[in-house]
Amino acid sequence: MLSQGFVSAAAIAASVLFILSLGGLSNQEKAKRAVWYGIIGMAVAVFFTAFGPGIGAYWVMIPMMLVGAVIGAYVAKKVDMTEMPQLVAALHSFVGLAAVFVAWSADLERRRVLAARALDAGTEQFSAFAALVATKAPDELMFLQIEVVLGVFIGAVTFTGSVIAFGKLAGKVDGKPKQLPGGHLLNAGAAALSLLLAILYLNGAGFWTLLLIAALAFFIGYHLIMGIGGADMPVVVSMLNSYSGWAAAAIGFTLSNDLLIVTGALVGSSGAILSYIMCKAMNRNFVNVILGGFGGSQGPAAEIEGEQVAIDAGGVASALNDADSVIIVPGYGMAVAQAQNAVSELVRKLRAAGKQVRFGIHPVAGRLPGHMNVLLAEAKVPYDIVLEMDEINDDFASTDVVIVIGSNDIVNPAAQEDPNSPIAGMPVLRVWEAKQVFVCKRGQGTGYSGIENPLFFKDNTRMFYGDARQSIDSLLSQID
């Protein structure tokens, strides 16, 4: 059994490692080292918490930790990079559900302490947490109850919201925004009723109030995310990441665990900041995102004239051989086809031929912030040619060829040209300004959000149909 001094020192060390990890993730070259900081920090946190003072029942805890570690390792090896966003959403749901269970347990222990006080009984039979609760004054117990309510509510919203986000990302739930009759009034009513139940609980009502708060919060999480369209799902994942952090922080206060408070606050604040940045990138209102009030259209979309014109590999290769400047815009289709290595080889050949080749990355390309950056880094694409939207958007007008690989919404001119589009006002990559645009796409269907793209019908656009990896492979032998 480790002393509290060791545990406190370990908490500080783990917190520093977590901060270094978050800071390092802002730079692609430092990202791998940053991940190791996070791994080491978590290992330190788990070890010193598990063997700290007041912890027991190792015959149950250690086997469960081993089972969890084995499951985690198996899932991590099995899940492809294309499935990483839904895995993140699933992990958020675990954090939320854990917060609910811990909060419930904390209240049951609180009630045991109050019952023992009423009977003037000793605390020898108490758990370590209950013994800690027994030292609290009445006003401190009131704060504990507030922490319990926050843990239950935020955790429950996070759980069902993350489950629905997982379903939408995995294609198991329809990506279109759907709400029950009554829309946001149902969410507001459920939130108001939760507040009323919380007041009753704080004034001595039974455990049933926490059960009802959880049920209402489960509904809010479900209904909020169901009402958000697929095009906005990357922001939703970031938002749920923030929720999971605040749920963990609330439980940290409940358990008087400094490390959990710091870690939860880091995750919650960083997730909120990222959500705000992404909202700005998509021209969304941050408060509107939190309330789940976006993702739907405002009226009938503009009609699209013309037709999609196909081109074969020979035509695309000929244009690339004649071009001096090329910009590649990757999207989720590249991830699905696992085409990043073929794209990296194409870039190598084009650059060897003396052509300027760069990548244009939209902040919400793929299904998760940074999704495309990770794939390109995995394929050994040089960091210095991977540029963000704001860095490259003004260069499309002077670019000879743009190759769009599996992107749809992030290159959709309707965002700027059609005020009734569900993505109206969203900043997009202005690929249509280039001399020639080639869109590598499986077929003529719409993107994840279900929105038709006028880019595919423009005079300077040609559709390069087929699997992205096979299509790029077919170009390689024809590049001079």
Any idea which residue has 């969203």 for tokens? 426
Catalytic-residue membership of 409: yes
What 54-63 contacts at long range (C-beta under 8 Å, 24+ apart), as own/partner pairs, is: 54/128, 54/129, 54/131, 54/132, 55/1, 55/128, 56/128
DSSP-assigned states of every residue in 452-463: --GGGGSTTEEE
Q: How far apart are CA 82 and CA 85, in angstroms?
A: 7
Name the residue type at position 376: L
Q: Which residues lie closer than 8 Å to 273 by C-beta, 6 or more apart?
A: none
From 141, 291, 157, select the one nearest 213 (Cα to Cα). 157
The token duo for 353 is: 């031929």
The token duo for 95 is: 């954090």
- Collapsing DSSP to helix, strand or coil, 360 comes out as strand
Residue 458: exposure state from Cβ atoms within 10 A (0-12, 13-18, ≥19): middle
From 291, 287, 295, 325, select the one nearest 403 (Cα to Cα). 325
Q: Do 131 and 54 contact (CB within 8 A), yes or no?
A: yes
Any idea which residue has 């990441």 for tokens? 241
DSSP-assigned states of every residue in 383-451: GGGEEEHHHHGGGGGG-SEEEEES--GGG-THHHH-TTSTTTT-----GGGSSEEEEEESSS---TT--
Q: Which residues lie closer than 8 Å to 433 by C-beta, 6 or more apart?
A: 396, 397, 399
From 103, 93, 204, 102, select the one nearest 157 (Cα to Cα). 93
Whole-Å CA distances, 282 to 170, 235, 341, 349: 22, 9, 29, 34
Q: Do 335 and 406 contact (CB within 8 A), yes or no?
A: yes
Selecting among 107, 232, 409, 418, the annotated active-site residue is 409
Q: Which residues are catalytic?
A: 409
